[in-house]
Amino acid sequence: MEYILLCLTAWFLGFAPTLGIYVAVPSTMLMGLDPISTIIWAGIGNFLPIPLLVYFYDQFTKVEWIKKRLEALKQHRFRKQVKEYGAYMVLVTTPFIGTWVIGVLARAFGMGKTKLFASSAISIAAYSIVFAALTKMGADFVK
């Protein structure tokens, strides 16, 4: 039962818009969840906003105030960089600005679903592994 609670905690912390893998990976590892489970569950939680935002984007745009904000985003100064660098931009920026923001920006800027899914999944997996390794090294150092 404790394992399931820790997995759900990792998933929830990964899914939460302001927390992400920065908090999910170290905190659940320090709570006692093994690194592999932490990476998997925090990664799934962190990745889930991408398909949700992609598939429900059209429903979001039906809400007038959201539609206005998304239209304003289409004129954003980073639009050119996202168009030009696409998947590379997502790979690098996902952990820094979050999957929720990346999902909305990439969709608003017209990035394809496959590119967005693949690049964000790779980014989340890579950064989760890095955070898990750093947490493991730090926890071992403190012992």
pLDDT in tens, 84-136: 777 777 777 777 778 888 887 787 777 888 888 888 899 999 999 999 998 88
Predicted confidence (pLDDT) per residue in 58-84, tens digit: 787 788 887 777 777 666 666 666 677
Q: Kindly report the pTM of this predicted structure.
A: 0.81
3-state secondary structure of 47: helix
The full DSSP string for 60-88 is: HTTSHHHHHHHHHHTT-TTHHHHHHHTHH
Model pLDDT, residue 47: 93
Question: Which of the two residues, 94 and 42, has the higher pLDDT score?
Answer: 42
Model pLDDT, residue 87: 75
